Structure 1
């Protein structure tokens, strides 16, 4: 019988529709059993015949019924383990007819060993580049094995605090590609994954925080979730120093500007040195329950800020109790933001102008001086040496410039300054590679701080003793002392003339000028100490006694004091170890270093006439030269002075190198 053509087409369509429906019903099962053979009684199909979408129970080790794990086949098919057989992980199941013995304990699946074995096989086959994701898994495993989660649970030592399956749900686990909707959905589930089973209290606190609301209500992927602060696999005890230090950086991954401004404070500088005892982000803002600064309940709201400061500044931890001025301290002040921090902006620009002005002038001065002296010596234009034998004063005589008290004061002052530079610049440039090494060698920031304050006390002591001595001297000689005479260190018009004459000589436009007892650069060195004591000493005292400062002045003064203390110290250190060293030790007429006049107190008569011609002439004319003549220091005194001078020069140049490394590193960073 011949079938009509239209009937044939209809039959074909019906058959196709039925086939499509059958395929749709079995597609999930086909996906999860793609590795199964029809004769494999331990294949995934066998397992899913009981475990897929069924609620079964069996007798457990305690004799009580326990529910079987239910697996959703379609979810399993989309996971990273979908191509694996169930028994590849559940290796205790070997009997398809009676896969679970009544009363037998279920053997825990060892995710760690499985992935490590797979990685070893991949390495043997030379396929590590093709299996980069597996390599990442193994790295995560290594981190997990050292983590708090891998440790035995306090209540049940046979179980770890958290296993892979607690977080990943190994039957369905998959990390969606970045930028996809699924990835967003997966990321937003992290707080619930951590909080649902284990950390419920933290989840409750987090849910009401600014981070939690952004994630759980607004679905903001940029807001922090648990793993942003604690990491995913390298989770450690939050009381460890390593976590406290790492946590600050974790916050900075999102709050980069705040991390940078925090690093400019003493709290942040100590943190960068590797010590965790100063205030960190969570000490002020909280941890899981962080609220917006404008929120009245926030720990850093104006209403609660003093209480927050008193967590540390409470008089019980070696810190005086915080006073109301602490409230207006800005831990994230930005010197580039005039609108919010005008005091910082103005101070920063002033210090920048001061640094630029001083270094441009004096480095230019030193460079030109070196060039002119070098050229004069090369061309044989050095000034003639005095013939001391014609003076009938003896060939072994020198001129006394400094008495023993001033030499001792200079030495102590120099040593204290160098110690201040070492201990202070290690904090100021705490992000330099050398700073943590120095700090560790000194015994840590607390001991370094003690050394710094002792050195500062010594330096200030020398300074004030000098002031007292000079005051007494001026009072006693008030009738005869000439304030602007040649023996006075007061700046006078002649100093400006001498400076102009020096520049004419530098450029070959005039003769080399002659000087009296004090040159203009020596006077600058002298008065620079007064400026430094006022700026560095004053700001240092404010920072050393914050409770007193904050009871008198507003808190923003700490921001200004920190800025000027560091910048002025940088100026002083670099000036001393470049300009001052050059003027007194490294210019061609002084070479080879060191000049030992500040250790012996005397200078050869020949050099005295060359360097202080006007004073020499004046002393000769008044017949007072012999009053200043003394025997040359002994050979041992001279040798000891040179050794001491070279040692101090070496220390100064090393400190200069460290400071410049820190400066360049900060500029490039």
Structure 2
């Protein structure tokens, strides 16, 4: 036991001795290192020299403006200050940087304590937390700082938009910090305030007049901040700094009352007038101009089902106004006719139940009398808008209108039917009384008919997408759900069109089709025919050219149809299967396809209406129309005038067709009268008769 204890004691003493030696060595090293550091610091301190402002110009002779710093300071509001008054971190050579210190911000606090306390954030960015938040020098300048009253100052009203635009016109910055308004300065400069400021009216509102809070431009808060001058509920007061009387009228009106009550959907100044791009009411582009106020300004709220239900207002206010005399005149461009503001007021708008409202029943005679002197109270009481959905008139007037509509449909409809029957009789007599020459065979007539049906259907259903308010669009697709299936109808006609084109392509492979294509192909004499026709029409020749089967008019139309068909089918299929196209080609290609499809449709439609309709309908020699598209034949006299060089060949073809039809009919008759088992033989006289 004693031996073991002794060994334990010895082992412990050795360990303690080793630990003491290690601690002593560490202490010696630490003392040595500290001495070395102190020596280095002392050597560095001996290399640093304190300086004053008089030596700054030895190194810094010119500012970024290209002028001497001393000259800039002499002209600035800070004349008399020394360099080190602002550049407090530059008092030694070499300069010793102070992290976070900026001469254009940090040192300003020494003199401008109030402004420093006010400037804690800019918009949604807190100073010191968000990068790119402007410092004092960003707005006021560097060495050339001038009072705001001096025109050369960066904060003078005429220069302030440019100063703010340094950041707010920078799309990289606005995108980075999620600022939703692009180019606010550009918009402002075209506004009534911007133009006034440029014109020397320095009292006109500039950036800080609207955005500053608490009377200082150093406190610019985001619109979501309740204390912000551009917060929804503070905007009337902000605008009221310049427009005091208007603010009072607005706050007394129903809209101001709703704002004071805390309704976020109540309109304020910017709702109607805009924000940065405010225009004068006399400017036709302004949303509050006489021609625009009803549709652009009042209707977005008063046509809203949600708002009308919330506040218990009548619906269809705009619709019933537009249909009234005043609305129709206003829509036609009459700027003197009454609009919403003429009757309801501009800023002090009150419900009709308010005794002081301009539309209170007791005040209507006065209100209407502003435009209609000596108007009676009874006349002034007639409603401008519809009453409980009954329209603009009394029920009796509406009943009379319904009677007239029915009468017009019946009377004019019978007139149309009468003249259509009469026109058909005249055309039939014209055809029956004149020798006819074959122009198109039955299958060609059907091709033409299908092509015409498909083309008309495509035109109506296609343009209805762009001109959905047009009378033709409303006529065909104005019924409930009509515009929803417009696209389907358009595609059905497209399939019919492509099917007809395919049929025609097969026809061109037949013997008659190859002959058709050969005769339709342009040749050199077509240009001569064109010149001869032009000279004849100008009275320089006494005879028309001898046109063959197809004139240059028909050839130009046919090949234009071929080209247009190819373009419309290709672009139409690309738009139909746009999801496939967008995966194979850049988006820009699809945009081009859409433009080509639209304008090619215009070109084709106008070509048919002008070129084709004249040659087949309105040409005096074929009027009231060329009947071949219905019967396949033309009067011989008309054919002689239009295609004299092909008349004899057409007559031979017609005679051959007649003989073929007679033989076909005769064969059927003999087959019907023959005895069972008896062969039918054609007698020589039968052949001669045929």
Q: What's the TM-score once normalised by structure 2's chain length?
A: 0.39
1 or 2 for the larger relative contact order (CA 8 Å, sep ≥6)?
Answer: 1
The structure whose Rg is larger is: 2
Q: What's the TM-score once normalised by structure 1's chain length?
A: 0.41
